[in-house]
């Protein structure tokens, strides 16, 4: 039963053995009981001169998590995965950095299917949605630390949150979707393996190949939809989401013609999925 859910602590030793290796993307993994923000912690460590390349920081409880546009949220102890990964920019062309949060979304989608048997999809640029109501299952926030040469990517996945514990009515959790036995340790290990594989593929390709774009579009819940994008400066763009380009930007046809003059390329903004006209 939902009320009987057990929230076990993460097994740091198992995670370390599963993902840390000499040739791995990940070189250090720490699990802490509580922190304000795992992203902020890694960025602060980098700013202080610490080499955080390949570092993974996971918190059992995050009390001042950061979302897009400075939004702050708090977690529920041991009911979520709150994790940040520090990815070196070496070997990643700057034009591909916008794809890092997108491949993170792909890694989350693959992991929740492999571990919990839950199908999920991607809302551009940083949300993972699942369930009949397309509830928000996970969020992603990527931040570039230029002096340190790393991209810090934070991931928050709702695992065993009960209905009354969800942060807002549009959210969901693996528990709410019927995956009451989802193992957070296995989920973290799966996400880190998937993420390492995808970052390595970006480096090996020296950019984004057509197969990756096709895979993202296949998992996308945004491409093919009518959308409203709220851009910096409160400017709005409404139109049909055509696809994602080689820099990870969303292409929106505002005139219904598909011609270049009607297509707006969006690199950042809040997206709302609209009902078909």
Using one digit for the tens of pLDDT, what is the confidence trace for 140-164? 999 999 888 999 999 999 999 999 9
Q: Which helix (H) or strand (E) holds 41?
A: helix 38-47
pLDDT band at 77 (very low <50, low <70, confident <90, very high): very high
Closest CA to 125 of 99, 145, 94, 156: 99
**β-pair type (28-35, 55-62):** parallel
pTM equals 0.94
Q: What pLDDT shows up at residue 22?
A: 80
pLDDT at 235 over 60: yes
Beta-carbon contacts of residue 91 (< 8 Å; ≥ 6 apart): 203
Task: Write the DSSP symbol of residue 274.
Answer: P
pLDDT at 217 over 60: yes
Classify 76 as helix, strand or coil: coil
Question: Rounded distance, CA 242 to CA 226, Å?
Answer: 9
Residue found by looking up tokens 């006209």 in the block: 277
Please enumerate, as own/partner, the contacts of 230-237 that have beta carbons within 8 Å and a separation of 24 or more: 230/269, 230/270, 230/272, 231/266, 231/268, 231/269, 232/268, 232/269, 237/264, 237/266, 237/269
Question: Rounded distance, CA 148 to CA 138, Å?
Answer: 27
Per-domain residue ranges of the chain: 2-217, 222-273
Q: Which of 2-6, 184-188, 254-258 has the lowest mean pLDDT?
A: 2-6
The CATH fold of domain 222-273: SH3 type barrels. (2.30.30)
Mean pLDDT computed over 109-122? 98
The class that CATH gives domain 2-217 is alpha beta
Q: Cα angle vertex 217, ends 84, 56, to 5°? A: 10
Q: What pLDDT shows up at residue 1?
A: 40
Residues 170/136, Cβ–Cβ less than 8 Å: yes
pLDDT at 3 over 80: no
Q: What pLDDT shows up at residue 68?
A: 53
pLDDT tens, 166-194? 989 999 999 999 999 999 999 999 999 99
Q: What pLDDT shows up at residue 73?
A: 59
């Amino acid at each position: 039963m939902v009320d009987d859910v057990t929230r076990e602590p993460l097994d740091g030793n198992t995670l370390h053995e599963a993902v840390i290796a000499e040739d791995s993307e990940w070189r250090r993994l720490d699990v802490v009981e509580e922190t304000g923000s795992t992203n902020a912690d890694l960025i602060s460590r980098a700013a202080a001169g610490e080499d955080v390349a390949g570092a993974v920081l996971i918190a059992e409880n995050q009390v001042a998590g950061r979302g897009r546009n400075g939004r702050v949220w708090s977690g529920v102890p041991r009911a979520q995965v709150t994790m940040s990964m520090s990815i070196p920019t070496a070997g990643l062309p700057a034009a591909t950095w916008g794809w890092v949060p997108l491949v993170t979304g792909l890694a989350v989608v693959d992991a929740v299917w492999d571990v919990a048997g839950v199908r999920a999809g991607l809302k551009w640029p940083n949300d993972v949605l699942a369930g009949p109501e397309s509830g928000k299952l996970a969020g992603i926030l990527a931040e570039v630390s230029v002096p340190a040469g790393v991209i810090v990517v934070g991931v928050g996945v709702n695992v065993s949150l009960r209905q009354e514990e969800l942060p807002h009515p549009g959210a969901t959790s693996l528990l709410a979707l019927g995956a009451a036995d989802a193992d957070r340790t296995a989920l973290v290990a799966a996400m880190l393996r998937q993420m390492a594989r995808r970052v390595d593929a970006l480096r090996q390709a020296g950019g984004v190949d057509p197969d990756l774009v096709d895979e993202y579009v296949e998992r996308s819940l945004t491409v093919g939809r009518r959308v409203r994008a709220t851009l910096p400066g409160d400017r709005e763009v409404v139109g049909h989401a055509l696809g994602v380009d080689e820099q990870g930007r969303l292409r929106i046809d505002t005139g219904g013609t598909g011609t270049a003059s009607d297509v707006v390329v969006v690199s950042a903004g809040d997206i709302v999925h609209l009902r078909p006209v």
